[in-house]
A and B are shown apart, each in its own frame.
Chain A
């Protein structure tokens, strides 16, 4: 075998290995999705959404309180994170190149890398410890802190993509900077920003670790943000690690709800991005 044959053979082998690594990574994805759907679908029924958890030993019941709780906590997080994320994103995009903008960007990237459990510890120390009570509000704060960097980075990136001519047009008409940004530049980037928020929501709604000791859990139906609240993810954790067959069944059902939500959100975001790209190309 000549040297060139050898080189070509090595090249082919490595190409095959690269293809193989894609397959290897997709196997767990397929397995996880398969089990979640297969196990979840047999356990999922209407009462899962409408009924309260049953005490240990009684079969049946649902996670109505946890589903409502998850929605409340996630929305609280969004209410907290969206203003901070968007406004700091506007700042970073508008003052690109200043030291302050770099600092915000750095802070956002840092925050994005902080383990979610540590954010839970942080919120515990500022929102649970002083009042000596776990609360839905604390859970919302924890999720909000996790959402901020995601929203900030998307906002910044999308604002920088808006053609400079749009803003120049507004400025040429005599608009002040604030007016140009909030009535022309931000609206132009709004579909993208909304997509980013949607993706952030999907990611945050699946979080468990920051809720364990902020929102804690609640066996009862509660919408009071000052009280502990049950969430879907924490409920799945408790059910999965408990020794009861029926609870395992419900944990799978909860997982199916979570995965469906994540899947629908990322699919929506995909469609939205594709449509935006088409619009931009057409323009």
Chain B
């Protein structure tokens, strides 16, 4: 390499060179939004708001109502969170507050493994192991319970309950790892203070949880965002029937699942645009959830942030 020309020009090239890739990354995110709007315009113009207020999804007849999909997505995600939240918090507390140091690493590895298993493998397992088990459970439902809307319907196995269970399994590692990080950010003095006042172990942990509450909420919401967009495993066990039902036993449908099943086969433009519109709304929903949850988590991490910036401040001023 020749002697550096002007250092300032060199710096400029470096900044522009790496900056171009950074802009490209930002551009991709913007392009996703733009492409989704562009490819769903026919449906947006044609149906307007009624798209989200209609229950009939009949591509052959050209009728497109997406309300069952929104319902299925929200219902399955909320159910999954109800199951996964206590477990995820329990794991986070156990690993960060209770477990001996030697157990931490293996436990973290195992929960990470839970997150690393591909969605399609969960789906396969869901079809052949979970769904039959759920069917047995449904058959064993006592008669008086079946009159409750929550448990009505034939014992099919596939349906909302299977989807919620598999989603819960998949969401647990996400929520628990973020909650663990958040708990790590709680100053040790908080716990010591609680102990000094005579708190029991749980009372000290409760103090830490209270201190970390915004971050914990963020962790749970991050899991919610994951659940909304989860596709393969849900598609394989939820039954794929566009209907709005409160029953846990009823086969239903989600936004991601209808995309997975019907997108490649969309025969006309309006059908395709209707599907892309579902994708667009899914994108917006996850975007909002993610931004809010990240704000929560970030506001927790701020206490530890200045140290990191300071450590690199000299480097920046030197350059």
Contact = CB atoms under 8 A, between A and B. Distances in A.
Interface of A: 7-8, 10-11, 14-15, 17-22, 24-26, 28-29, 31-32, 35-36, 39, 83-84, 87-88, 90-92, 94-97, 100-101, 103-104, 107-111, 113-122, 124-126, 129, 134, 145, 148-149, 152, 160, 164, 167-168, 171, 174, 176-181, 202-203, 206-209, 212-213, 216, 233, 236-237, 240-241, 248, 251-252, 255, 258-259, 262-263, 266, 270
Given A121-B276, A124-B263, A176-B7, A32 B117 contact: yes
A255 B121 contact: yes
Contacts, number: 284
Interface in B167-184: 169, 172-173, 176
Contact of B120 (A91, A171, A176, A236): A236
Contact of B107 (A22, A83, A145): A22
B22 A91 contact: yes
Interface stretch (B49-57, B147-155, B228-236, B242-250): B228-236
Given A10-B200, A25-B111, A262-B118, A118 B86 contact: no
The 10 closest A-B pairs by CB, nearest first: A115-B229, A21-B90, A206-B118, A87-B21, A113-B290, A11-B202, A11-B200, A178-B14, A91-B18, A164-B315
B24 interface: yes
A118 B279 contact: yes
Nearest to B119: A208
Q: Is the interface of A mostly helix, strand, loop or mixed?
A: helix
B79 interface: no
Given A115-B228, A115-B230, A145-B28, A32 B10 contact: no
A148 B25 contact: yes
B61 interface: no
B116 A262 contact: yes
Contacts of B11: 176-178
Given A19-B98, A177-B10, A122 B116 contact: no
B90 A209 contact: no
B276 A125 contact: yes
